[in-house]
């Protein structure tokens, strides 16, 4: 799973991005965790691979309500 936030160019923080690993929990469920560096709207992408090949990808937005940690 990857996450990305294009920060306000005037805030001096540039862009934030990260990557998290998820683990299979069984019955088609997966679990993972990661740390978002600030509050705001993040673009998240979940990509599933099998045998080194991408078999599915889903992109969505997520709003983190905590304040900026900078």
Q: What is the pLDDT, as a whole number, of residue 8?
A: 54
Asked, for residue 39, whether it belongs to a domain, the answer is yes
Residue 69 is assigned to a structural domain of this protein = no
Of 16 and 61, the one with more pLDDT: 61
Burial of 28 (C-beta count, 10 Å sphere; 0-12/13-18/19+) = exposed
8 is a domain residue: yes
- Residues 53, 19, 1, 20, CA torsion sign: positive
Q: Which domain holds residue 36?
A: 2-64
Domains in the chain, number: 1
pLDDT at 53: 93
Q: Which residue has the higher pLDDT, 57 or 68?
A: 57
State residue 70's pLDDT score. Answer: 47
18-61 per-position pLDDT tens digit: 778 788 899 988 888 877 777 788 888 888 888 999 999 988 88
């Amino acid at each position: 799973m990857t996450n990305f936030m294009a920060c306000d160019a005037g805030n001096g923080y540039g862009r934030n991005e990260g990557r998290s690993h998820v683990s299979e929990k069984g019955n088609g469920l997966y679990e993972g965790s990661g740390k978002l560096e600030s509050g705001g709207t993040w673009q998240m992408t979940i990509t599933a691979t099998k045998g080194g090949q991408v078999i599915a990808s889903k992109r969505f937005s997520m709003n983190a309500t905590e304040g900026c940690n900078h």
